[in-house]
Structure 1
Amino acid sequence: MTRDEAFLQFLLRMGDNTLVLGHRVSEWCGHSPVLEEDIALANTALDLIGQTQFWLGLAGEVQGEGKSADDIAFLRDVWDFRNLLLVEMPNGDFGQTLMRQFLFDAWHSIQLGRLMKSSDDRVAAIAEKASKEVTYHLERSADTVVGLGDGTEESHCRMQEALDYLWPYVGEMFQADDVDAEMAAAGIAPDPASLRDEYDTLIGRILANATLTIPDSCFGHKGGRTGKMHTEHLGHLLTQMQWLQRAYPGANW
């Protein structure tokens, strides 16, 4: 694998994470339990899609085939996606959505912090811009997790169930492969495993405040980052997200 090939895969991973999660979060628009949360989730989705534009735009530039961010987002099949399995999981109830958001935000904020020091100026610039938004995402999702976890008996039970359900998907964020090794050697991105201690400290503090118990399980799903395995949920998501460009190729406003 050449450095450019590894760089492309890295950019697809970053862009696909924000694209898929942004679409997932947008599904709450008009359906949230209160208006304030509806607006907050819509804004989060917009932030993530905006970040996708930068990551996939750079991916198209590196690929050198004249593809735009839209081409990469809407004209790939499910097995071409490189997102974490965590972000494609269904919204479930409101507690599950917020727990998924928190678990991702904690990783995302740490990752972007490291990428701001990237040897590639383009990556560092995207990370610096995205970090400002993700800092707010993490603050909000952490506060909500604490509020619901340490709230009523029902809200506590739902948040614990959400954590138990999503925890097996957390480990994939820290699994390294040849792409990560190449990016770390070039100083473009950190070794995923190097983020784990900081992540565990961060989520441990928040979940303790939420009176939630981290599952005692070493099992972890994987395959999303490499495209070797995705859940059935991603196929359904892409069917909704891509149908217009698939049905009317080249359609524009």
Structure 2
Amino acid sequence: MPSLTDVMTADADLARAPGIRRMAAKGVAPADAFADWLCRMGDNCLILGHRVSEWCGHSPVLEEDIALANTALDLIGQTQLWLGLAGEVEGKGRTADDLAYLRDAAQFRNVLLVERPNGDFGQTLMRQFLFDAWAMEMLRALQASSDARVAEIAAKAAKEVAYHLERSADLVIRLGDGTEESRARMQKALNQLWPYTGELFQGDAVDQAMAEAGIAPAPESLKAAWDRTVAEVMAEATLVLPEG
């Protein structure tokens, strides 16, 4: 069984996705591609949930300790839904727990952003905001999915992520437009995490199959809305977006 450290350092190269079988019928995604995509959604939540949970008992104030613990619980709950459906679609008898804890590290499909170390409180919040802004756009689109199960999970998760985004954006603004030290820390966090955001919008054969089947949006289609959200929050936080 892989350790949590192994999971956190799993290679997130998009090229590791399995081969895609041709669609058996128009508008129907092959099971292997569908299961892989569901694991990506679940793994993002799983790894970030575990990262955030590391703050439990160590947050700067009690209120934030509770808030971060609740965020972690929400993410793990979403993990169970996505990986549970992945196991069902895969058809190999694996449960959400099996997929979460009995895969080798290289089999995880999460983006590198969610693996990044917590660092200080500012870095944790910046990572959360950048992910929340993406997750909100993804979940909005998924509520119109051609697969009713995906749409149902997205509708439930969107309610939680809307709160996560509101909270993380508010704190990024407060710290960015706060003291000289807090602003410097938030700018440093943004600069360090920014290179990892591009992967959120890079599609491959799996993403193409999902888009063609109407199950999920093409990753690149989410970028314009994400850019707007991030730009608005960073402007209010008096932070400078890195180039590129």
Do the two structures share a fold, i.e. TM-score over 0.5? yes
Q: Which digits, 9 at most, give the CA deviation of each residue in 1:49-92, with x for residues without a partner?
A: 00000000000001111111001100011100000100001000
One-letter code aligned to 2:41: M
What is the CA-CA distance between 1:111 and the residue it aligns to?
0.2
Cα deviation, 1:186-231, whole Å, max 9, x if unaligned, reads: 00000000001000001100000000000013xxxxxxxxxxxxxx
- Aligned equivalents of 1:116, 1:158: Cα separation in 2: 36
After TM superposition, the runs of 4+ consecutive aligned structure 1 residues lying more than 4 A away are none
User: Residue in 2 aligned with 1:122?
Assistant: 149
Instruction: Give the corresponding residue for 2:51.
Output: 24
Q: Tell me which residue corresponds to 2:132.
A: 105
- SS of match in other structure, 1:201: helix
Q: Which residue of 88, 95, 100 maps to 1:73? A: 100
> Does the alignment pair 1:54 with 2:81?
yes
Which residue identity does 1:193 align to in structure 2? E
Q: How does 1:141-180 map to 2 (within 5 A)?
A: 141-180=168-207
Q: Which residue of the partner structure matches residue 132 of structure 1?
A: 159
User: What residue is the counterpart of 1:206 in the other structure?
Assistant: 233
Deviation at 1:110, TM superposition (A): 0.4
Give the secondary structure class of the aligned counterpart of 2:155.
helix
Letter in 2 for 1:41: L
In structure 1, what is the Cα distance between the partners aligned to 2:33 and 2:93?
A: 19
TM-score for the superposition, normalised by structure 2:
0.88
Deviation sequence 1:13-32 (CA, Å, 0-9, x none): 00000000000000000000
Partners of 1:213 and 1:78 in 2: CA distance: 35
Aligned position for 1:9: 36
Residue 181 (1) aligns with residue 208 (2)? yes
Q: What percent identity do the matched residue pairs reach? A: 68
Alignment pair present for 1:43 and 2:70 = yes
Structure 1 gaps, min length 5: 218-253
Q: Give, in whole Å, the separation in 2 of the partners of 1:42 and 1:155.
A: 23
Taking the aligned partners of 2:199 and 2:67, their CA distance within structure 1 comes to 27
Equivalent residues, number: 217
Mapped to 2, the partners of 1:5 and 1:77 lie a distance apart of 18
Question: What letter corresponds to residue 69 of structure 1 in structure 2?
Answer: A
Q: Distance in 1 between matches of 2:192 and 2:152?
A: 35
Secondary structure in structure 1 of the residue aligned to 2:118: coil
Residue type of the alignment partner of 1:183: M
Q: What whole-Å deviation, never above 9, does each CA across 1:125-164 have from its counterpart, x for those lacking one? A: 0000000000000000000000000000000000000000
Using the size of structure 1 for normalisation, the TM-score is: 0.85
- 1:190 corresponds to: 217
Residues in 2 aligned to 1:169 and 1:27: alpha-carbon distance in whole angstroms: 21
What residue identity is the alignment partner of 1:168? P
Q: Distance in 2 between matches of 1:77 and 1:143?
A: 37
CA RMSD of aligned residues (A): 0.5
Return 5+ residue gaps in structure 2 as ranges: 1-19, 22-29
Q: Tell me, what secondary structure is at the counterpart of 1:216?
A: coil
Shift in Å, 1:4: 1.1
The CA distance in 2 between the partners of 1:61 and 1:112, in whole Å, is 20
Q: Distance in 2 between matches of 1:214 and 1:77?
A: 36
